[in-house]
Chains A and B, each alone.
Chain A
């Protein structure tokens, strides 16, 4: 397994706050890593650092290597060759992640033209094909819709289409289902699983929901107060949690989660 993403001693300071504290993570090509932690644990900032999307005035030290190439310290121009093309991101809030004034088909076609060099006509056709791939119902028609005309789940599908348009090696999903209804969440997670498996894309899945990450990721890293507390195979970490932060997350999840004794019904 080749190491695709290597984060080494990443430290991020915002103003006088230490948000990310010597974080080291690794992700192999085609593998799935879940980054789990409560709000404010620094997990989103970590993912933004990979894409060089940190706010102005952030102090960053450490190393982030993608396929051997160092990403930290690169200029915006150099990074834009990476964004969308090698690393893409899906965001949490489907309502704000899309341009409200542009039809979704055009938004999907954008990266297709930019990263795959397709002509406008070819990109439009490829956008429809991608819409089919992400399970957008009535793709020919919905591709011409504006974001506000779509439901949350549909918007998130569009977000996935945009992210995968450039055929990236790594997909970062930052709480992609948190704002969705539970039935829609189930659909989107299944879709994500399917897309990532078929394309062999590596997945960095960020969430606060243990039950979700257990479903999605092969390996997980538990983050709290900017530091990685423990990481390893999902079953290993959840079954034999070593760190108190992991134990606390598990306890909370079991207290508010679905009663484990209840058997689920198949629909």
Chain B
């Protein structure tokens, strides 16, 4: 973890993500105004007027409060969707990597699902169940989960081919034990890096879904929907739409930087650790792999 702090990107990432979490936390206890409170007296108020830090929108709702409370939705959807993607991803990956023949079929099934855009899945779900926070969560969870499965499956296959798994089988370990004790812990680094990517994408996806109307319905504030609402008036009131856009950008940037820093911190160290072990001659591998 200290490796993350070492890079500038990592530091910025940690700060931005920390900011998001802080905002979401604070919003649970306090907001300057009720973000859903429609005040027809102060439509399109300019920033820093009447206690409105960032101004108000066309219905007189405080923009800052909307951003504040909207962060909650963002954080919730991102976290829940990522968790779901993790479960779906690992589950599918295990099914694809472990069984001999059936695994190949599952693998192809995964590849087919990967072709489905997340937005399309969300639209289908919304058409059937109506747009909601959960539509976004499930759609992103499945859409991202399938991609996580693809990468994780490759890593699992690689672990299953190692000598220590072979040694485990020779020691009498059952398949379940091998998956539990050897495969999962060893794919965990790759998995977590993948999930950090998903986190950034989930924020973006939630915003996109809400923007299109398939996500969080009114009156709950959501950055994506704010974008859609305020964008219509950009020619007349250009300042307002910048705030949700900035919030989304900062959050996605922070998560991306953090994910990159995590990758740097975990990957090369493994490589260096392997090569500094002096003493071994390269192992001649059999010419044909069974």
Contacts and interface: CB of A to CB of B under 8 A. Distances in A.
Interface string B251-281: 0000000000000000000000000001111
Given A151-B287, A152-B287, A40 B278 contact: yes
B284 interface: yes
B282 interface: yes
Q: Dominant SS at the A interface?
A: loop
A178 interface: yes
Interface of A: 38-40, 92-93, 151-152, 178-181, 208
Interface in B95-149: none
Interface range, B side: under 10
Contact of A178 (B278, B281, B287): B281
A38 B282 CA distance: 13
A3 B218 CA distance: 86
Contact of B282 (A40, A151, A178, A181): A178
B287 A39 contact: no
Nearest to A175: B281
Nearest to B278: A40
Nearest to B280: A39
Nearest to A181: B284
Contacts of B279: 38-40
A39 B278 contact: yes
A208 B284 CA distance: 16
Given A39-B278, A181-B284, 9 more contacts: A39-B279, A39-B280, A93-B282, A151-B287, A152-B287, A178-B282, A179-B282, A179-B284, A208-B281
Nearest to B276: A17
A2 B278 CA distance: 37
B288 to A, nearest CB: 11
A38 B281 CA distance: 9
A178 B280 CA distance: 12
18 contacts: A38-B279, A39-B278, A39-B279, A39-B280, A39-B281, A40-B278, A40-B279, A92-B282, A93-B282, A151-B287, A152-B287, A178-B281, A178-B282, A179-B282, A179-B284, A180-B284, A181-B284, A208-B281
A208 B278 CA distance: 13
A38 B284 CA distance: 18
A116 B39 CA distance: 84
A152 B287 CA distance: 8
A227 B176 CA distance: 51
B111 to A, nearest CB: 24
A54 to B, nearest CB: 15
A152 B282 CA distance: 14
Contacts of A152: 287
Nearest to B283: A179
A40 B278 CA distance: 6
A176 B284 CA distance: 13
A81 to B, nearest CB: 31
Contacts of A92: 282
A181 B278 CA distance: 23
B49 to A, nearest CB: 56
A93 B281 CA distance: 11
A181 B284 CA distance: 9
A209 B287 CA distance: 23
Nearest to A209: B281
A208 B280 CA distance: 11
Contacts of A181: 284
B171 to A, nearest CB: 29
Contacts of B278: 39-40
A166 B287 CA distance: 31
A92 B278 CA distance: 16
Nearest to A17: B276
Contacts of A178: 281-282
Contacts of A38: 279
